[in-house]
Structure 1
Amino acid sequence: MPELSVIVHGPNTQGHLTELLDSLDAHPLPDAEVIVAAVGDWARETAEAHSPETVVLPLPAGTGDAAARAAGAARASGRWLHFVHAKDGLPVGAPRMVAERAAELPDEVDVLLFDHVTSTWQTSGRPSGGGHLLARAGRAELPLDEAPHLLRLAPLLGNRALRAGFWRAHQERLGTDDEPRAAYATLLHAGRIACLNQVAYDDRRLRAESLPPVAPEDRYALVDRYETLLSLAKDRPATRAVLYDLMVRELLRTFAREPLPEPVAREFFRRASLAAVRWRAPDHHRPAGLEGVRRALLEEGAYTRYRAFQVANRTRRTAKATLRTGRRRLGAQLRDHQYRRALGRPVDPHLAVFAAYWDRGVACNPAAIAAKLAELAPHIHPVWVVTKENVPLLPPGTDHVVPGTRRYWEVLATAKYLTNNVNFPNSVVKRPDAIHLQTHHGTPLKRMGLDQMEHPAAAKGMDFAALLARVDKWDYSVSANSHSTRMWERAYPARYTSLDHGYPRNDVFHTCDAGGVRAVRDRLGIAPGRRAVLYAPTHRDYEAGWTPRLDLATLADRLGEDTVLLVRGHYFYDGSASPLAGLRRTGRVVDVSAYDPVEDLCLAADALVTDYSSIMFDYACLDRPIVVYADDWETYATTRGVYFDLMAEPPGQVARTQEELAEILTTGAWRDEGATKARAAFRRRFCEYDDGRAAERVVRRVFLGESEESLPPVVPVEERTPAPTPEEAAS
């Protein structure tokens, strides 16, 4: 029998389960077992990919924490149980430390308490402030009534281990999704308690903005929690006194600091006041600092007076803040005046704003959505945001605004729909009845959002708080596959709804016919019968400019007269900075960096050569050969950070040198059986929702308000028919 069963439970929220299991795998324990009660597919897949010694219990998505803990405990064989939520962490050596201390304890001890740290997206390892409480108890094994101060430790199940027999005897009383209630109850039911004044848990606090809004019933349940706990301690004066203080502090903190709607605030205050009166002992000592709290909760008419006091305080704070920022706002006074006036007008339900790639023009997912919108909802008028220099490139008749102009602020203020594949400026206000649709512009191989915090070369001084403020404006986030959905949830934690509908820009890869493929190749000057290879490298964060990683002229010579190289530089580099500017259009090397849309280039190409660009995920929809040229994979993966090992899961053949690349392209290796098998696995994983009807699903869901159940179902990958290859189109 192992001494300790570590029971990891819950969904893989924002991808944190991976880090937790990695830490357990790195420091295995001979006298402990790890059981993962995995809620949902992502948690199950993550757990199954780790140590074979880990026991995985798959549970349906939506299974509550209490049920997940119970399932894990039922499978556990350890003498002690440590419940670890999948979002949290375990410091190095923590399980060993807990197991060794637990092994010293007799069966009379039911609970072992230890210290913890807290982490957020901004900070890690902040002390709990509870170490002195543990130190005060020392190594004695005490009943709670002799050490009621232990109730002041953070009410987490993760900062305590429970004797398995104790858990099973009280499982019904401890089996609640309300973790603080369960944590307090462990101490109230325990015979004796032991302490370990060492950090053995990392409580990860998720962004409140990434969690569902707190319902009024959950606010009122806070009062019920303490009343239930106080009933357990009604005949235990010292314990009851500490619980009462904890209740009053938390109830007032909730009322004073949480943004409660007025009806909820009034009802919460009423219930809190009744509880404060009902459970106050006649001889209860009033600690310094709580007198005002008790007066607020106990005196008649205190609600109205306290609310008036709050309003006065907020007014003073607002006045001071306005005075401090006044000078900074003078330069933008006219713009703000125009924008604020426009924000006072009603939202126009028939107006939609579109933008792509930092206002470069009509492109990417927003362009595909706008085209489908014109077909399915012509009553909604689209306006594109485009920089002044890119206006001449717009399709004829495109209604547009230039950033900073009066009409720009007017349409941003009054549009019902705002669609972008990046973020709108920080100054754009999210109106309650407006809808912000984030389409993204690729499947993430490289780390994005908050995940860049550990990679400063990629982050380049990014203001992550400002980023999250922009993300909080999203109502919907479009996704091409489950991988993207999960990584967006991790990198951009907020309350948006994921639209697992596919990338609209990739619809053309299933709707284009042979004539369309021939027309694109004609525009590019690719003669019938010639092989076209699209080379599309990505940006390197550790390079100041674009440094070609291939000798293109030499490669073209190796490939021969029958192959044309279409070279697409990353959009971060303008034409003047392109090292291809000096290339002569020989017909065998063509600079297509300025050609739009990029989907045309994919349709024209017989094969794609890329490094780590997200274009590979889109091109895979066509089911055509892909070759990865990865001469600097280790450097790229280290400096930028990646979500999976592309070398282990490539979409086709991989070349690490130019010679290897030339060998692959001049033999049949670029489309042999191994390359085809790798591409099939890649398509199943990353082209999951891209079936040619993504734009329709997005328009129907977002702009027409249709339910998800009524949308066209996603066609399985095996049943799709991609656009014909150039060879097929020519026959």
Structure 2
Amino acid sequence: MSVTAMSETAPDLSVIVHGRNVQDHLPALLDSLDAHPLTGVEVIVAAVGDWAREVAERHAPAFTVLPLPDGAGDAAARSAGAARARGRWLHFVHAKDGLPVGAPPAVAERAGALPDAVEVLLLDHVRSSWRASGLPSPDGPRLARAGRAGESLALDDRAGLLRLTPLLGNRAVRAGFWRAHERLLTTEDEPFAAYAALLLADRVACLPHPAYEDRRLRPESLPPPTAAQRYALVDRYEALLGLTADRPAVHGVLYDLMIRDCLHTFARAGMPDDVAREFFHRASVTARRHRPEGLRRPAGLEGVRRSLLEEGAYGRYRALRTASHARRGVRAAARTGRRRAGTRLRTLQYRAALARPLDPHLAVFSAYWNRGVACNPAAIAAKLAELAPGVHPVWVVTAQGAALLPPGTDHVVPGTRRYWEVLARAKYLVNNVNFPDAVVKRPGTVHLQTHHGTPLKRMGVDQLPYPAAAHGLDFQALLERVDKWDFSVSANSHSTRMWQRAYPSRHLSLDHGYPRNDVYYTAGPAEVRAARERLGIAPGRRAVLYAPTHRDYEAGWTPRLDLAALADRLGEETVLLMRAHYFYDSAAAPSAPLAGLRRTGRLVDVSSYEPVEELCLAADALVTDYSSIMFDYANLDRPIVIHADDWETYRTTRGVYFDLMAEAPGPVARTQAELTEILTSDAWHDERAAKARTAFRRRFCEYDDGRAAERVVRRVFLGEDERTLPPVLPVEDRTPAPSPEEATSS
């Protein structure tokens, strides 16, 4: 372990990591701590919930892990961590945040050298969001100036330090000081605790170097604040100002902060009128009660705003804001008018449809950018017809794809009048990608995002650091589409965490399994035999499905295997089912050897074959690289072989969420020769391969048990309570569809 072994003496610093594994940021934080020496530092992880506990336990015993129940708040987690801490100083680090390299030892060294009178050490920090990381904070210059004034400072002489960002993470506190004031400092309101620690300290010191990373989560990914939480902002300052009544310099700065904070919240929070009126009234009462004697308001519009707040003039303040917004609106309309001219007709048609009532019995389905009836949306639509036949499905399909639809499928073609009408009026919109940006999220509509795979590669905003994957993506527009989701379907807890991280919004995760995978548990011998017959696979022959994925770093399709040579080595009793990724029109070049293999039925191009689930049922084994088909196929508990000839390049250019080479579902081949050796020996289906597949299946087929579509339909379309849905069957109790060999013998 990289953590320096602790002696019997108390460490200088206890880093207390606390909270839930919010949007899966905790692993990076703990990995960074564990990757560098932590001289004089102990790490305690107060892990809230199973996900945080599982992540933290990977670092035990180097770190002390304190498992806490899922409902434990941040204040309880901080208290639990502090109670176990042995350090002379405490540094509270939220699980969503980070620590710059070398920060804990630097804090420990600085804190350890401070006089006993110093009770709080103020730290600089950097800021990160989904857009960027490591941005400097505005606190650095103020800390540098204060630091030059001396090693030990009194807040009354440096009241401007109250203007530092109110985070517990940008201040380390002496353990004895924390315990003496823990009753006041233990609160869910972190800014209150941060301010109070500064107000209660006799002396403070400064470290004007970044020692904390404040990661700002998208507001759209957090639950909207309640009215009580809005009012709590005023209560915070009411309590804090009560601590400073006899400290005029400190009181004046804190009062100014309160006014700014309240005005900013009132202007930007979008509160309902009744909540806004009450918030304004409470802020006005507090402002008048604590207004310092002789305080002069700033000039200009800011002074007018403050005056109206202190007077409680809610009506006049709203009128001032309305006039200001109107002026900005006129300017914005002038800028955007020209851009809208080209879409005026569509806009008029769509707006007319939006003015009509929602149809509670209408559902719009789409899959793979309107390619046809497929994937999770198709499985949901089929179960919907069974459980809720009163809901009418309409599929969005391209003009080319319409000819391939099952008979009787009601559909619309993008851009037509009826297309905009059904999108405007449908209560339910179901997709495994996203609907266009122009689609309005109407009150009462339900957007169901089903996804179309389990993520190995980085997705959503996690693609930002990878230019090959991020090229051409408008991430702001992506997140605006994501913000329309109400539900997100997940097949396993790994996916749930990654979707919350890659698509930070308020959507609710449906941990019900992928509906498209139900067939792997409901199909019997007859269905398996029928799938093979449709593909022309004779009984007794081995069928190997080869399904490689797309490479962002390549302009087009690059064959990664010599299929003719592979087929020759595998022999006449093996059929290769070749399926190219849907981004490509064809998988293999029309060479003479391949043409010959096709004529004999030893190679079948199934790139256009639908549904892909039938291919999986028909195959004795799967060969893939990094395609998400491996996660679905694992449900069948049949052999999987990974061909990873370019893993390092793929991992570097696209980014991945876990090391497939270390956690593969079966044997891994890095060359064609290795792949051939695996497939011509027992390695593809031996005991070692089965053991790897079992671990992989347990992790990634977690919620797939054959009833996923039923759970989704009951929850979303029938509105049933989560607790009444059919429970997920444990992996060991499931019986997948029979293998081709079993189906033939039955």
| Structure 1 match to 2:102 | 93
1:618-664 deviations in Å (ceiling 9; x for gaps): 00000111111111111111111110011101101111111111111
Residue aligned with 2:448, SS: strand
1:258-304 deviations in Å (ceiling 9; x for gaps): 1011001101011011001111122334455652233111225x211
From 499, 503, 510, the counterpart of 2:510: 499
1:244-270 deviations in Å (ceiling 9; x for gaps): 111111111111121011001101011
> Is the CA contact 2:78–2:92 (under 8 Å) kept in the aligned structure 1?
yes
From 9, 15, 23, the counterpart of 2:32: 23
Q: Are 2:113 and 1:104 equivalent residues in the alignment?
A: yes
2:101 & 2:711 partners in 1: Cα distance? 46
Residue aligned with 2:11, SS: coil
1:314-393 to 2 correspondences below 5 Å = 314-393=325-404
CA shift at 1:143, angstroms? 2.1
1:326-725 to 2 correspondences below 5 Å = 326-575=337-586, 578-579=588-589, 583-584=594-595, 585=598, 586-725=600-739
2:518 & 2:164 partners in 1: Cα distance? 55
| Structure 1 match to 2:132 | 123
Root-mean-square deviation (Å): 1.2
Aligned length: 729
CA shift at 1:55, angstroms? 1.3
| Percentage of identical aligned residues | 73
Residue identity in the other structure for 1:334: L
2:24 & 2:591 partners in 1: Cα distance? 43
Residue identity in the other structure for 1:653: P
| Structure 2 match to 1:156 | 167
Q: Are 2:307 and 1:295 equivalent residues in the alignment?
A: yes
1:196-345 to 2 correspondences below 5 Å = 196-288=207-299, 291-299=303-311, 302-345=313-356
> Is the CA contact 2:559–2:588 (under 8 Å) kept in the aligned structure 1?
no
CA shift at 1:319, angstroms? 2.0
From 32, 37, 45, the counterpart of 1:36: 45
Residue identity in the other structure for 1:574: D
Residue aligned with 1:111, SS: strand
Residue identity in the other structure for 2:121: L
Residue aligned with 2:716, SS: helix
CA shift at 1:581, angstroms? 8.1
> Is the CA contact 2:492–2:699 (under 8 Å) kept in the aligned structure 1?
yes
Residue identity in the other structure for 2:435: F
> Is the CA contact 1:385–1:403 (under 8 Å) kept in the aligned structure 2?
yes
1:126 & 1:633 partners in 2: Cα distance? 32
> Is the CA contact 2:192–2:240 (under 8 Å) kept in the aligned structure 1?
yes
Q: Are 2:96 and 1:83 equivalent residues in the alignment?
A: no
TM-score by length of 1: 0.98
| Residues 172-181 or 253-262, more deviating | 253-262
1:616 & 1:581 partners in 2: Cα distance? 28
Residue aligned with 1:92, SS: coil
TM-score by length of 2: 0.96
1:193-230 deviations in Å (ceiling 9; x for gaps): 11122111111100000000010000000010000011
1:515 & 1:53 partners in 2: Cα distance? 54
Q: Are 2:202 and 1:194 equivalent residues in the alignment?
A: no
Residue identity in the other structure for 1:49: R
Segments of 5+ residues of structure 1 without an aligned counterpart are none
> Is the CA contact 2:384–2:391 (under 8 Å) kept in the aligned structure 1?
yes
CA shift at 1:142, angstroms? 1.9
Residue aligned with 2:702, SS: coil
From 65, 71, 79, the counterpart of 1:70: 79
CA shift at 1:79, angstroms? 0.6
Residue identity in the other structure for 2:602: R
CA shift at 1:306, angstroms? 1.3
> Is the CA contact 2:39–2:105 (under 8 Å) kept in the aligned structure 1?
no
CA shift at 1:580, angstroms? 5.5
> Is the CA contact 1:249–1:293 (under 8 Å) kept in the aligned structure 2?
no
1:504 & 1:265 partners in 2: Cα distance? 44
1:66 & 1:264 partners in 2: Cα distance? 27
1:480 & 1:464 partners in 2: Cα distance? 25
1:377 & 1:486 partners in 2: Cα distance? 31
1:439 & 1:445 partners in 2: Cα distance? 17
Residue identity in the other structure for 1:253: H
1:485 & 1:442 partners in 2: Cα distance? 12
CA shift at 1:147, angstroms? 1.5
2:137 & 2:674 partners in 1: Cα distance? 55
Residue identity in the other structure for 1:295: S
1:178 & 1:25 partners in 2: Cα distance? 29
> Is the CA contact 1:580–1:591 (under 8 Å) kept in the aligned structure 2?
no
Residue aligned with 1:87, SS: coil
From 146, 164, 175, the counterpart of 1:137: 146
> Is the CA contact 1:555–1:662 (under 8 Å) kept in the aligned structure 2?
yes
Residue aligned with 1:245, SS: helix
1:414 & 1:387 partners in 2: Cα distance? 20
Residue identity in the other structure for 2:639: P
CA shift at 1:123, angstroms? 2.0
CA shift at 1:345, angstroms? 0.6
From 175, 191, 214, the counterpart of 2:186: 175
| Structure 2 match to 1:59 | 68
1:44-69 deviations in Å (ceiling 9; x for gaps): 12122236411111111121111101
1:580 & 1:613 partners in 2: Cα distance? 24
1:547-573 deviations in Å (ceiling 9; x for gaps): 111111111111111110111110000
1:425-471 deviations in Å (ceiling 9; x for gaps): 11111111100000000000011001100111111221100110000
Residue identity in the other structure for 1:587: G
| Structure 1 match to 2:5 | none
> Is the CA contact 1:377–1:704 (under 8 Å) kept in the aligned structure 2?
yes
1:348 & 1:363 partners in 2: Cα distance? 24
CA shift at 1:385, angstroms? 0.1
> Is the CA contact 1:248–1:293 (under 8 Å) kept in the aligned structure 2?
no
Residue identity in the other structure for 1:277: R
Residue aligned with 2:704, SS: coil
> Is the CA contact 2:114–2:151 (under 8 Å) kept in the aligned structure 1?
no
1:350 & 1:599 partners in 2: Cα distance? 29
- Deviating 4+ runs (over 6 angstroms): none
CA shift at 1:578, angstroms? 4.9
